Amino acid sequence: MSNEVSTTLAGRNEEAGKNYPMVVEKVTLLGAIITYIFTFQYIFGQFDTEWIGAVFIFTVYPFTLFFIIDMIGRLIQKMHNDA
């Protein structure tokens, strides 16, 4: 083994920070999955034609939920890093 100090490609020395609260992100992901399951029929019934409802419920709606949890995760990370 060598005695060299590990640095980044830019030559910076980085310190280890606090642990990120992954439990909160896992809970929000589980909440989004549960929300999707319980609101599936309601959202599907909001459209006049079946194929538009199917396209929305299988594409747009999950991406919207995952976008929301990603924004919540980024907000948590921002608050965690500022503290």
* Three state DSSP letters for the chain: CCCCCCCCCCCCCCCCCCCCCHHHHHHHHHHHHHHHHHHHHHHHCCCCCHHHHHHHHHHHHHHHHHHHHHHHHHHHHHHHHHC
Digit-coded pLDDT (tens) for 5-43: 666 777 777 676 667 677 888 888 999 999 999 999 998
58 has a pLDDT exceeding 90? yes
Asked if residue 73 has pLDDT above 90, the reply is no
pTM: 0.67
Residue 78 is predicted with a pLDDT of: 82
pLDDT at 77: 80
What residue ranges do the domains of the chain occupy? 23-82
pLDDT band at 4 (very low <50, low <70, confident <90, very high): low
